[in-house]
Amino acid sequence: MNFEPVIGLEIHVEMRTNSKMFSSAPVGFSREPNTEIAPLDMAFPGTMPVVNKQAVINAIRVANALHMAIDHTVVFDRKNYFYSDLPKGFQITQQVRPIGKGGYLDILDKNGKPKRIRIERIHMEEDTCKQLHFVDYTLLDYNRAGVPLVEIVSLPDIRSGTEAMHYVEAIRNIVVYSGTSDGKMEEGSLRCDVNVSVRPYGAERLGTKVELKNLNSIKNIEIALDYEIARQVSLLLSGAPVQQETRRFDETSGRTILMRVKTDAVDYKYFCEPNIAPIRLSDRFVEDAIKTCPELFESKKKRFIEFGLSETDAEIILSDIDMARYFEEGLPVVKNPKALANWLIVEVNGYLNKTGQTISKFSIRPSLLSEIANLQDIGLTHKQCADILNYILEHGGTPKEAQEKLHITIQTSDDVAVLQYVSQVLDANTQSIADFKAGKDRAIGFLIGQVMKISHGKVNPAAVAKIMDIEIRKR
């Protein structure tokens, strides 16, 4: 019997707003635990939530990118439960009226064919505090408590691990390029809970679903789902039922491991948050939020391809928003965008990898890299330009200064000039001509080297080789 997996995703995205969802504490990048806290984040009695406007703007932008209907009335609810990471004993969320409803996202399936995934809802809520468990105690870090989140809930339209991976990638591109989040799965700023079940092909009824957690990279989503689908299928084939349970992905073994068996669903006793009166958003506010949304991934990709970049090159540059920003900042100066892309992808990436740096810390300004790329257009070789780049990386200064220090000049390909040097060298090296005629091919390399030497590198080696080949045969 053949089985079909049915997959739905709940994605939590931590927003990179200046302050928290309901308090004025900064949402920063402090690595020092418990340094970014307002009294509300620890639920001190008498504190009250104040909605972060930027978080609402971000949520509208993401909802719009997902083609959702946006609710112009913002209402929050309380989700009540006791847990050590939940300071207030309730989470403020949007249960009844999510800010966005009924959208979709187009992705590619595992055969590369386009597929539409429907999205049920997107809502705003607040993050919990972070727990660090030790053998006989737990540490709590409230820096994360109250960080704004958007949760994006898909309908169960996904049918393979690959599709799930593409879906998460596409969501990540939207939240990153809309400026909503840094979207780093490894650091937990984008977290996926995956619901997966399998059923015989053609069956209407859904199988028992299993929830997967701890999927901390895009690639792991595919690995975990492939494993879990195979596990469920083999259970069913052996006649055993699939249990409703929560499983955690174990990165080292590539397997999913049982965390807990689900009993009855928890009753969260939702009710409307009484400390936040419903907020009416004007049409103007919603329109402005959408209009001022930074350009998204897909639009940039289209534009980069129009500049002459290959799809792969465009995707490599766009895979890092800072790289994309760098590329765009270099565009006004560079003559050939494709050359700039090449420099970024090959030389700059190589340098960054070697030195363990990121593009945002790269010492050479985009316009400067563009100037260097332009030098190739006016006749310097790639090698010469790379030397200039490396010189500036080491010593600073301008390309002109580097060129002078390195005695780099533009090489001529002018036939008359090249012929002059070639003739001069051939005249002076009759033995090499004889060697060449005797079948020693490498003699020609020596002769070209001689040309480069007496011309002080002013001629283009390719042009030299071409004319040398003609001239040597004439002798």
Question: 382 and 373 in contact (C-beta within 8 Å)?
Answer: no
Q: Quick count: other Cβ atoms within 10 Å of Cβ 394?
A: 9
With CB under 8 A as the contact rule, the residue among 276, 293, 340, 452 that binds other proteins is 276
Q: Nearest distance from residue 73's CB to other proteins, in Å? A: 15
Q: Nearest distance from residue 45's CB to other proteins, in Å? A: 4
Q: Which is nearer to other proteins, 285 or 351 (CB)?
A: 285
Question: 467 and 419 in contact (C-beta within 8 Å)?
Answer: yes
Q: Which is nearer to other proteins, 50 or 433 (CB)?
A: 50
The answer to the question of residue 51 lying near other proteins (CB under 8 A) is: yes
Q: Which is nearer to other proteins, 29 or 83 (CB)?
A: 83
With CB under 8 A as the contact rule, the residue among 271, 295, 302, 453 that binds other proteins is 271
Contacts 24+ apart (CB under 8 A), 157-160: 157/8, 157/115, 157/116, 157/117, 157/118, 158/6, 158/7, 158/8, 158/9, 158/117, 159/4, 159/5, 159/6, 159/7, 159/109, 160/5, 160/7, 160/109, 160/110, 160/225, 160/229
With CB under 8 A as the contact rule, the residue among 26, 28, 33, 39 that binds other proteins is 39
CA distances to 10, 81, 218, 222 from 93, rounded to whole Å, are 15, 13, 26, 29
Q: Which is nearer to other proteins, 56 or 447 (CB)?
A: 56
Enumerate residues 61-120 that contact other proteins by CB under 8 A. 78, 80, 82-84, 87-90
Q: Nearest distance from residue 305's CB to other proteins, in Å? A: 46
With CB under 8 A as the contact rule, the residue among 275, 292, 310, 398 that binds other proteins is 275
Closest CA relative to residue 146, chosen from 10, 55, 70: 55
Q: How far apart are CA 3 and CA 470, in angstroms?
A: 68
Q: How far apart are CA 53 and CA 39, in angstroms?
A: 20
Question: 361 and 325 in contact (C-beta within 8 Å)?
Answer: no
Q: How far apart are CA 12 and CA 242, in angstroms?
A: 26
The answer to the question of residue 42 lying near other proteins (CB under 8 A) is: yes
The answer to the question of residue 310 lying near other proteins (CB under 8 A) is: no
The answer to the question of residue 54 lying near other proteins (CB under 8 A) is: no
Those residues whose C-beta lies under 8 Å from the C-beta of residue 62, and which sit 6 or more positions away, are 13, 100, 122, 150, 152, 174, 175, 178, 180
Q: Nearest distance from residue 139's CB to other proteins, in Å? A: 12
Per CB under 8 A, the segment of 43-51, 290-298, 379-387, 434-442 that binds other proteins is 43-51
The answer to the question of residue 35 lying near other proteins (CB under 8 A) is: no
Per CB under 8 A, the segment of 47-55, 108-116, 178-186, 223-231 that binds other proteins is 47-55
Q: Which is nearer to other proteins, 223 or 276 (CB)?
A: 276
Q: Which is nearer to other proteins, 51 or 417 (CB)?
A: 51
- Write the DSSP symbol of residue 41: G
Q: Which is nearer to other proteins, 40 or 176 (CB)?
A: 40
Q: Nearest distance from residue 82's CB to other proteins, in Å? A: 6
CA distances to 6, 12, 343, 387 from 188, rounded to whole Å, are 25, 9, 32, 40
Q: Nearest distance from residue 294's CB to other proteins, in Å? A: 28
Whether the CA torsion 47, 50, 51, 55 is positive or negative: it is negative
Closest CA relative to residue 109, chosen from 71, 171, 163: 163
The answer to the question of residue 269 lying near other proteins (CB under 8 A) is: yes
| Lookup: tokens for 41 | 């984040």
| Lookup: tokens for 199 | 């059923």
Q: Nearest distance from residue 56's CB to other proteins, in Å? A: 13
With CB under 8 A as the contact rule, the residue among 206, 230, 240, 277 that binds other proteins is 277
Q: How far apart are CA 261 and CA 245, in angstroms?
A: 4
Q: Which residue type does 113 have? A: K
Q: Nearest distance from residue 51's CB to other proteins, in Å? A: 7
Enumerate residues 129-148 that contact other proteins by CB under 8 A. 138, 140
User: Where do we find the tokens 């737990």?
Assistant: 138
Q: How far apart are CA 369 and CA 365, in angstroms?
A: 6
With CB under 8 A as the contact rule, the residue among 10, 26, 47, 217 that binds other proteins is 47
| Lookup: tokens for 6 | 């049915």
With CB under 8 A, what is the number of residues at the site for other proteins? Answer: 29
With CB under 8 A as the contact rule, the residue among 12, 26, 43, 298 that binds other proteins is 43
Q: Which is nearer to other proteins, 85 or 315 (CB)?
A: 85
Per CB under 8 A, the segment of 61-69, 94-102, 271-279, 376-384 that binds other proteins is 271-279
Q: Which residues bind other proteins (CB under 8 A)?
A: 39, 42-51, 78, 80, 82-84, 87-90, 138, 140, 267, 269, 271, 274-277
